[in-house]
A and B are shown apart, each in its own frame.
Chain A
């Protein structure tokens, strides 16, 4: 079974802190994604990566950056956390051209106070 793991299930940070959210997948997938999930808004794509060191902005990249130094790991970085970044963050991975399914991690619920 594909496994996508995220470093924390719950995280509480202060405004202005630098926050790292880590995601690791074990299926050698090329594509990895970061979403945030908010009530009534569904999932919104923050950033995605289709290869090591490659990244593309999603729909709401402002205030975030990402890093993909190894194929299995995709990190989301909040350079200076703000209260409006309080949310559920979901990581996903997906295989190559013929694969449609995204596999999701359990999510990290981040609270910024």
Chain B
């Protein structure tokens, strides 16, 4: 079945460091890929998405490129801030049907030191 694997955390970085959080997926067909973020005490919110191969999703300085050849969707940011401290979830949606489910990875906790 479809699945998402992301790097285990926690990840601790200093402010202004470069961030990569790895994500790979297993899916049949052509899934859409997402990164969701969960700030402390809140629910998840969509950070960025890509709906087809070679698409690049971007938001708030974060980027991820849909790589079908490596089945990956790694999250990157060039210079992290303390306010980026959160849990990040990679996810996929296996079809565009209204009843399709989203499958989430286990989450990666990111902590940024001032």
Supposing A42-B104, A42-B105, A43-B104 touch, asked if A96 and B43 sit within 8 A by C-beta, the answer is: no
User: Is A101 among interface residues, defined by CB-CB distance under 8 A?
Assistant: yes
Interfacial residues, chain A to chain B (CB-CB below 8 A): 4, 30-31, 33, 40-43, 45, 48, 50, 56, 58, 90, 92, 94-107
CB nearest neighbor in B for A43: B104
Contact B99 A101, beta carbon cutoff 8 Å: no
CB–CB B46/A101 < 8 A: yes
B interface residues with partner A (beta carbon < 8 Å): 32, 34, 41-46, 49, 51, 89, 93, 96-99, 101-102, 104-107
Considering the chains assembled together, what is the distance between the CA atoms of A30 and B60 in angstroms? 29
Is A31 in contact with B99, judged by CB distance below 8 angstroms? yes
In the complex, the chain B residue whose C-beta lies closest to that of A58 is B101
Nearest B-chain residue to A107, judged by Cβ? B43
Q: Is the CB of B89 within 8 A of A100?
A: no
Which residues of A have CB within 8 Å of B49? 100-101
